[in-house]
Amino acid sequence: SSQLTQDPAVSVALGQTVRITCQGDSLRNYYACWYQQKPGQAPVLVIYGENNRPSGIPDRFSGSRSGNTASLTITGAQAEDDADYYCNSRDTSGDYLVFGGGTKLTVL
């Protein structure tokens, strides 16, 4: 079983703000990365490190961490944000990587 826990599904009204969370003991020591995946496509990195966006990722995506929980916030969700989101970080040993189970975001 994954050492990172995500809610299976979250929904948000178009233009509203949504927070997707990821819980795990290792997150007390390590930052999470966040990946967006649309059906039939490869994942795309949207947030890494403390709160960094790769080139081309809109600034409505942001990341944060508090205690054992990492969060991905989308401020002003758009229809194209409808996708699966996965968090990823080191495990409690610090050497291996693990993914959360994924959150399906529905933009209404």
Partner 1 sequence: EVRVVESGGGLIQPGGSLRLSCEASGLIFRSLWVHWVRQAPGKGLMWVSRTNSDGSDTTFTDSVKGRFTTSRDNTKNTVYLQLNDLKAEDTAVYYCTIGWKYYFEYWGQGALVTVSS
Strand partners, 63: 72
At position 15, the amino acid (one-letter code) is: G
Residue 98 CB, shortest distance to partner 1, in Å, is 6
Nearer to partner 1, 71 or 88 (CB): 88
Residues within the interface to partner 1 (CB under 8 A) = 2, 30, 33, 35, 37, 41-45, 48-49, 54, 86, 88-90, 95-102
**108 Cβ partners below 8 Å, 6+ apart?**
11, 12, 13, 14
Ordered alpha helix ranges (H), 1-108: none
Nearer to partner 1, 23 or 76 (CB): 23
Residue 88 CB, shortest distance to partner 1, in Å, is 7
